[in-house]
Chain A
Amino acid sequence: MSTRLATGGRLIDRSKPLSFTFDGRSLGGFAGDTLAAALLANDQMLIGRSFKYHRPRGILASGVEEPNALVGLGQGPRFEPDQRTTTTELFAGAATVSQNAWPNLDLDIGALNNLAYRFLPAGFYYKTFMFPRFAWKHLFEPVVRLSAGIGRVPKDRDADRYEQAYDFTDVLVVGGGVAGLAAALAAAKGGQRVLVLEQTAHWGGRAPVDGIAINGMPADAWVAETVASLAALPNVTLRRRTMAAGVYDHGYVVAQEAVADHLPGADLPRHRLWRIRAGRIIAATGAIERPLAFAGNDIPGVMLASAARDYVVNWAVSPGDRTVIVTNNDDAYRTALALHDAGLVVPAILDARAKAAGELPALARARGIRVLEGRGIARVKGGKRVKAVEVCAQAGEGAVLETIACDCVAMSGGFSPVVHLYSQPGGKLVWDAANGMFTPDPARAPTGADGKPFVTCAGAASGALQAADALADAHAAGGGEAAQAPRAEAAAEAPMQPVWMMPQGAPAKLRFKMWLDFQNDVKVSDVQLAAREGYESVEHTKRYTTLGMASDQGKMSNINGLAILSDALGQPIPATGTTTFRPPYAPISFGAIAAEARGEIFQPLRRTPMHDWHAAAGAHWEPVGLWRRPYCYPRGGESHSQAVNREVTNTRQNLGLLDASTLGKILVKGPDAGRFLDMLYTGVMSSLPVGKCRYGLMCSENGFLIDDGVVVRLADDAWLCHTTSGGADRIHAHMEDWLQCEWWDWQVYTANLTEQFAQVAVVGPNARKLLERLGGIDVSKEALPFMAFTEGTLAGIPARIFRISFSGELSYEVAIPASHGLAFWKACLAAGADLGLMPYGTEALHVMRAEKGFIMIGDETDGTVIPQDLGLGWAISKKMPDYLGKRAQERSHMTNPERWKLVGLETLDGSVLPDGVLAPAPGANPNGQRATQGRVTSTYFSPTLGCGIAMGLVRRGPERIGEVLEFVAAGKSIPARICDQVFYDKSGEKQNV
């Protein structure tokens, strides 16, 4: 069994006991434990069930590479699946649950899959679910969905908050082990800004566990001293619990800081996503130990040799009473020594190499530990826990020579440098055959804008696995002089011997139980099958078998899988190549990516100066771009449609008030401004007299209508262009694009004044009366005729009044400085109470414009519509030699009389046509779909006319006035007659009074 040792544990604080639960059972641990350490201390080796076969799975590693020991952590709104117990710090009250097990971890029904392993081979999904087709949806998928998957999806909204932050540094050192610290110290001496990120809560990495001495002192002491000197330097920033997830072009690095994972419920951002711009990156990311592929290597109790050592030294946790070590290298002997020194039993070290004659094996032998050379494991015996190992000759086919009882197996297949951050931006690797690992190729490092390498691996990450080499390498990577490098003393290690399968001649029976990818349940037999079926590319094999595609991204499995594939293909490993390393290095939270963008500040909400008044008046909102505009203001128990009808009727009969502040307002000024606007609009704006307004259409180069609005001539050289509410920024950018890129020699300046002014539309028969009451400006028909504007002081506020109408009524739009917007709005309400004044919203605006047959950008236009389609020829100049879109509009397709054109539509029974419905035509189009001849673009109930009104685009529409079209909605046919689109006041008398 696994248990807590009576003494030791360099990372735990025994004076601070913490209680937590696993599957409802209350357990105890200490501050400084990881969840994995605390679970092991409570003899909880079985943590979950595997993805495909539901095999019992335990703790395999002690760090970020862990594939198995994932749990659901937290409760309610803080529940999160797939939390890696080996990297999660224990906190008081942590509630953890096992995953992928039903009805429970010990008795799991899905484990039946385990018996069916022959029927769930590589490519199982592809092979099985292709035929018959109906079977996937009705048979396979429901079953697979039940039994597959890892964690449960959280049901509640996340209770935590997240944030991001930006940082800039000359040198970014990733990894706070001894190599990272040495590199940082060397780099900092040059005075450059240095940022050091360490993914765990502790500095020093593996060195203190491995018993290394540096500069004559124990590694722990050197680490403390070095961290203290770095912290004292003003040009160095140290961040723990921060994992560099991705390196991108131009030294851009994304890292996640676990600010409060260990302090749930604190008023802190849980994670912080750092977005760092680094001049140079030193990846001192260490190396990850590889498992060995022997039968039963996934049974709980089998773990990495380095992890077994970590649990003993760091957390004083014994992974088992009797631990058999199986290795192909000297490093694993350190585990034997650590276990032995902690008073635990190491019955044997099985060394796959023919000879184990190095310094470390000698130390093991000196302690009386049995070292068996040329031996391996034929099979691990046990189900939910290791019971024994069967020993065989590595060179043979698995004949059992001896059975050794044990409850833990510590395995080491060598180390893989963590080259992820170097490889992500394009760094290339070379195969080091002697050490069985890929290392960075210094000749093909990722390069920055200056063509120079910007990511350097340092220490074990660069392949310098021995402590002395690692420190020298890291010191050099930091720019230090060789003579000043920190000196490490560690036992010399003899060469390892790559072992990809144990024993090397294992028969199929054993290969079926040799796990490569523990999280995705991919075995040696699966990769070999893929090779037999013709897979040669490692990328294809990866996808076919799902090797390395789980949330651990194959940190432990990729090299082993690659070696098995290469062997099956009969080629050396470099010929097969590696899969691509992609960010993130380890999963980061969606919360950190979204950061502050949630709830109220999910998106910027644009508010007019009258926004709060609308809210207080109970406005029902409509999003327009990022603005919120009142859709209507329901009163009493009114429905929205009742409110809209009332607002329309009241505006037509009395007086309506609309907050039109969102309208775009762009000032265009300069000697060439007139010429510029003539090019931008389809109509002539240069001829507009000062003091007058003109409606204008803007088209793209391709002739399509992109915006409309009223243009005002303010002065000889200045125009004010109104745009649609959603279009202000887009049109301003459109203007600047043409000015800066095409007509850079034209003397024109623009300024977007949209938000400088609040704008209020005063609309209805009583509009003039209201403005007269407000006082200060002559708004008589003579002084301010239709399509003119004036300036002055209205109600004591500086104002510009435009006599324009989008409703067909007598109408003024009043622009006042935004800081007076609310005051003006209130002044209107006060002065207009007895004139029947009511505010109205965007829907009433839409109904009234539709009654008048006015088009709306986005309803009548969709990016394929030209002004000529909309009967807007009157707003297109025939005289102007050019305007944006003119030539496009002359193309044959644009002048085709068959084009769909704007008409009015009235149903025969007065009902309202559904929006967007199509009118079918006889026959089929070239795609074999039903031909169509028209569609509805705007449709409303008109309270003014008491029936439905609509506009639509219809093939040769204006030529077919009076014809009845059948529109089809939800299988029902609705007859509607084609008519003129102006339903109300065709002569325009009302707006002209």
Chain B
Amino acid sequence: MSNYEAVIGLEVHVELKTQTKIFCGCSTEFGSEPNTNVCPVCLGLPGSTIVLNKSVLEYAAKAGLALNCDISLLSKFNRKHYFYPDMPKALQISQLEIPIAIGGHLDIEVEGESKRINIHHIHMEEDAGKLTHQGDTISSALSSLVDYNRSGVPLIEIVSAPDIRSGEEAKAYLEKLKNTLEYTDVSDLRMEQGSLRCDANVSIRPVGSKEFNTKTEIKNLNSFRAVQRAIEYEIERQIEVVEEGGQVLPETRTWDESKGITVAMRVKDEPDYRGMVEPDLPPIEVTPEWVEEIRATLPELPDVKKNRFIMEHGLPAYDAEVITSSRKLAEFYEKTVALGQDAKVVSNWIMGEFLRLLNANNLEITEVKITPEYLAKLLSLVEKGTISGKIGKKVFAEMFEEGKDPEVIIKEKGLVQISDEGQLKQVIQEVMADNPKSVEDYLGGQKKAMGFLVGQVMKATKGQANPGLVNKLLQEALEELA
């Protein structure tokens, strides 16, 4: 790798989560019975004309602004022609000349270094239907079934500049992209449902060269990790080809996850899409005021939020990064802090117990029942000494599962911390009587024995004893014997 550098560009397709399709009123719902969310328009029946869904334009512009793009005040739709049964009109309506958003960027961090990845443009287009073959491919299949529910679902394609240099950078870019778009709430961003898809263009060149060499396009990338691995593999493969005196072919390659390799699908003979202006859609004109209205709907984006948490809440950079990695998590954190809790304490709980339980149960933050109000209440109870920190974690786990009020949990389970001196003194006397050897050890100068005795008291109180008080009272009781 030392003599070569990789030139990588990513094309990311994001399905917009509008209620209806891009050019008709059919539902975009995922997982409906095949061919139920269809109409003459998205089936391309003769005589049907198309109408642009305004929400699609708004969502696309919102995504563009979040990714620091300029919004085109006039943009156009074009037709891209090709015959394939998943395309009802044998053409895809896309933006080939003037896309909705141009020239953005994202700043990523790799190995502690910050780097800017430019975004060439973002365009709107329609999705195709879905083919299922009874066999391997459409040519060899006994039969093929096509479901047009997805036909006409709105997409944006985010095309990066060829600024990415490694698989790791690619993964960081995708994470940042997903993170930023999650804040805009324009898509579900679910790779497993296909609402986020990524193709990678990879080429190599000698370090210092400014040339762009023949690139390959890698498809079938089903996770960010797959993107990283496939790019790393592909870079090595291309270096090997060149080192052996061969030539990198302009291929479309597919990622084989199980074997960890890319495999040539077909040589890319630049298809002639015969791009043509879409005659059924007049050019889309928007005003600067409209763009500002859309901008005003943007929430605080992760970079800004992260800096604010560092500057205003005094969070360590690492905490701020983790907490802003998801809009929902950041909102949860902020609400809890707003209820009067200490920022670092909240951050510790969220980064600790909260994320641990989320990951352990493989849950999305939207799926948990715990609320910021109850977390704040729990933290107050710990702070006041009503329960110990350790019990707090137990209560938290229950809140996480049941969404119950921590006070109710504590009451039901009798978890209130015992701070009654009389009650504790009695337990201490019992523990000392049961463990004369330890008492002797302590009095003989072995201060370690103190810890054991505290442990016994805690055990006897099922962990509910106020540990500070136990320490103090035990000390006093032992000193009396001395």
A and B: real partners?
no
